Amino acid sequence: MIYLITGCAGFIGFHLSNNLLKNKKNKVYGIDSLNNYYPTKIKRERLRILKKKKNFFFKKIDLTDKKKIGIFFSKINLDYIFHFAGQPGVLYSFKNPKSYKSNNIIATKNLLNVIHKNKIRKFIFASSSSVYGDQKIYPIRETFKVRPINYYASTKIVCEKLIRRSFANCKNKFIIFRFFTVYGPYGRPDMFIHKLLNNVKIKKTIKLHNYGKNLRDYTYIDDVVKILKYYIKLKHLKQNIFNICRSQPIETNKLIKKIQKSLKRDIKFKLIPKVKGEMYITHGSNKRIFKRFKLRFTSIDKGIEQTIKTYNLKGF
């Protein structure tokens, strides 16, 4: 099989690429702009690992560049496309909304404009639990009305609409996965767990929004990859939007205690009020996923242990 993964140097893109490359019959084409939203050191380390495999082919491309992606797609034939590239981060979307419009909406438009020339089997898009906003009933099902409370989430909704419209009269299939707080080794340094580990390393106090009472549906990266690999091969699906979540949210204060236990050291933190644009609870339903695929999710304790183990070895 021949795969394309946009955002291959990103957290989820890296782990999926690395897993697919274990099968020497697979070819994985990875593209990434390597932007500096967070330090490129970790992105380059992920790429270094991927480039060890002979069946991995990397091209540095910015998806906002129509000409470059047009040339790139004219030279390859693909079976599956994973569109994981984009501008992440909730709070940063208030500071730099232009980046989200360019790297999420315009980039997705450009990609959709060229892929229909390729007879792909499936197009898979990485959306986010942020599209749901704050709800009154939990766990959140895929049928719930989206209620974005930040610009990042709004751009993800626009991208979802663009994809549905683009594939409406097309034989090619698509799947939209809404990820709930994915974590694990080589994670993003702007996400809470790695941000906390970095602060512990430099002996800096970490701020706990909403007095540490936020609930997050943490989902371990290895579980995410297993689900992705299973669902892309299915030929017939009644639905094409799926939550990927463990469906067992944990309060930040309790998560801190688990990390302290695993680190065997105290963590300096400061309790602050809720921050604008941040969701109070992420708690998804995974019943739609489980109709086809039964998975024993990684426990939060084991996930934290593996994340810290890699962090201690690599420093990120």
Q: Is 3 helix (H, G, I), strand (E, B) or coil?
A: strand
**Which DSSP string corresponds to 128-194?**
EGGGG-S-SSSSBPTTSPP---SHHHHHHHHHHHHHHHHTTT-SSEEEEEEE--EE-TT--TTSHHH
d(CA 87, CA 107): 10
Q: Tokens for 249?
A: 């949210």
Catalytic residue among 29, 100, 152, 186: 152
Q: With contact defined as beta carbons under 8 Å apart, do 37 and 13 qualify?
A: no
29 included as an active-site residue? no
Q: How far is CA 225 from CA 34, 99, 129, 130, 188, in A?
A: 22, 27, 17, 20, 16
* Best CA proximity match to 43, nearest among 32, 28, 57, 52: 32
Q: With contact defined as beta carbons under 8 Å apart, do 215 and 63 qualify?
A: no
Q: With contact defined as beta carbons under 8 Å apart, do 32 and 9 qualify?
A: yes
d(CA 308, CA 194): 9
Report the relative pairing of strands 219-220 and 182-183 from DSSP bridges: parallel
Residue 206's H or E segment, with its range, is strand 206-208
Dihedral class, residue 86 (left if φ above 0, else alpha if ψ from -120 to 50, else beta): left
Contacts of 5 (CB under 8 A, 6+ apart): 13, 16, 17, 28, 29, 30, 31, 82, 84
Active site residues: 152
